[in-house]
Amino acid sequence: MSDVDKTSPSAPQTTALPTDAKKQRDRRNLSIALGLGVFIILVFAVTILRIGGAGTQ
């Protein structure tokens, strides 16, 4: 591989995160996943209740 290829802007550049930062990112990703999961369950439950006739009386 030539030197030109190594400095090409399209070459992928990756940086390893420090362990602490990776743990933090993993925790955040898990929180986002849980939040989305809860939202999906809420929308489903509310939809079922509304279809069943529950609502303002």
Partner 1 sequence: MSEAAANTDPSALAGPQDYFALLKPRVMSLVIFTAFVGMVAAPGTLHPMLAAVALLSIAVGAGASGALNMWWDADIDAIMTRTANRPIPAGRVPRAEAAAFGGFLSVLSVALLALASNYLAAGLLAFTIFFYVVIYSMWLKRLTPQNIVIGGAAGALPPVVGWAAVSGAAPLEAWVLFAIIFLWTPPHFWALALYKRGDYERAGIPMMPVVKGERSTRRQIFAYALILAAAGTAPYLIGMASAFYLVVAAAMGAVFITLSWKVLRADDQDHGPAKKLFGFSILYLFALFATILIEQLVGLYV
The conformation of residue 55, written as its DSSP 8-state character, comes to S
C-alpha 35/C-alpha 43 separation (Å) is 12
Q: Is the dihedral of CA 6, 9, 11, 17 positive or negative?
A: positive
Interaction of residue 33 with partner 1, rule CB under 8 A: no
Candidates 25, 33, 37, 40; binder of partner 1 (CB under 8 A) is: 25
Interaction of residue 41 with partner 1, rule CB under 8 A: no
Binding site for partner 1 (CB under 8 A): 17-18, 20-22, 24-25, 27-28, 31, 39, 42-43, 45-47, 49-50, 54-57
